[in-house]
Amino acid sequence: MTTLLVTGGAGFIGSNFVRHVVAHTDFDVIVLDKLTYAGNLASLDGLPDARVRFVRGDIADAALVNELTRELDPDTDAIVHYAAESHNDNSLSDPRPFLDTNVIGTYTLIEAARRRGIRFHHISTDEVYGDLELDDPERFTEATAYNPSSPYSSTKAASDMLVRAWTRSFGLRATISNCSNNYGPYQHVEKFIPRQITNVLRGERPKVYGTGANVRDWIHADDHSAAVLAILAGGRIGETYLIGADGERSNLDVVGDILAALGRPRDDFELVSDRPGHDLRYAIDSTKLRDELGWRPRYSDFSSGLRATVDWYRSHEGWWGPQKQATEAKYSELGR
């Protein structure tokens, strides 16, 4: 029997992973989550108590992390590390929590993992590579040089470097994955797609930064979870795997699709002031993951995945409604 300690398991992608593990494996899960503004226990509703245990706590709390890792068996179990401060706009307003959680929190976990010899998988982002020009024929690969732009992405880059150094210097049995932009149910309404869907549902116009020409490479969170399971099962220790589903879309295209799915004209949005340092384009080449581990995205049609996501927000106002007002208050202070 395998137990996974999943940090950040009450967040968007972490909770998807926990549901995915319960549905597709016989593993048990311990979720360690601080329940910041971004964590929501309701995202784990309905999971069996016999297989999923929730612990509220901070990944930077070494005593707690050591206590939990003592429960793990180095022969079978693993830590899967999702917990992070994850939103670029917040990192521009107040970077400090990003250093505490993304850097010191990761350090605390890998120290505990290496002392106990526990397998470690680190969840990271394509943003560590900086951005690409719109017409650049190259995409990010595992060999692309790190060049992060924001406080968020620089702390994620720092955390990747810590994991790499602990692997080389201390023999930590770790893998890293860098994934592109995720979408799907249970994503916080601060993020682009849920913000715009819920704006329309509340009778507000979507707010697009700058010109809207920026491109993101969208992947359904379920495909991300399947890739992480594949890496846990067959990934080579010390290796990095890029995760992406060939889902490049401009922000203008995405917002047009959201408006169309909700029966509104595609141009019924506002252009607002740009995010400082706003990365222009991300694009992932996931050949290594596909060739080595046989992973393929199931949600290869972004438009239908997006329509299903719109339907989920339409029918789950009870989940997102309580977050919406505070989130929009933060944005209106920024003029966005």
Chain residues that interact with ligand DAU, rule: CB under 6 A: 86-88, 125-127, 180-181, 191-192, 195, 207-209, 214, 216, 251, 275, 282
The stretch among 12-20, 70-78, 256-264, 297-305 that binds ligand NAD (CB under 6 A) is: 12-20
CB-wise, 108 or 180, nearer to ligand DAU? 180
CB-wise, 182 or 309, nearer to ligand NAD? 182
Report which DSSP code applies to 199: H
Which of 35, 39, 15, 19 has its CA nearest to residue 27? 19
* Residue 39 binds: one of ligand DAU, ligand NAD, none (C-beta under 5 to 8 A by kind): ligand NAD
Report which DSSP code applies to 99: I
Structure token pair of residue 22: 């319960």
Span between the terminal Cα atoms of the chain, in Å: 48
CB-wise, 124 or 175, nearer to ligand DAU? 124
CA angle 24, 55, 30 (to 5 degrees): 25
- Examine residue 242 and tell whether it contacts ligand NAD (CB under 6 A): no
Structure token pair of residue 45: 């509703």
CB of 218 to ligand DAU, least distance (A): 9
Known catalytic residue: 152? yes
Which residue's CB comes closest to ligand NAD?
11
CB-wise, 125 or 149, nearer to ligand NAD? 125
To the nearest 10°, report the CA torsion of 329, 330, 333, 334.
-140
> Of the residues 58, 77, 85, 127, which is catalytic?
127
**Using CA atoms, how far apart are residues 276 and 296, in angstroms rounded to an integer?**
35
Q: Scanning the structure block, which residue is given the tokens 């849920």?
A: 194
- Examine residue 129 and tell whether it contacts ligand NAD (CB under 6 A): no
User: Which residues ranging from 148 to 187 are in contact with ligand NAD (CB under 6 A)?
Assistant: 156, 179, 181-182
CB proximity list for 149: less than 8 A, separation 6 or greater: 127, 130, 131, 277, 279
CB proximity list for 318: less than 8 A, separation 6 or greater: none
Which residues are marked as active site?
Answer: 126-127, 152
Residues that bind ligand NAD (CB under 6 A): 7-8, 10-14, 32-36, 38-39, 58-60, 82-86, 101, 105, 123, 125, 156, 179, 181-182, 188
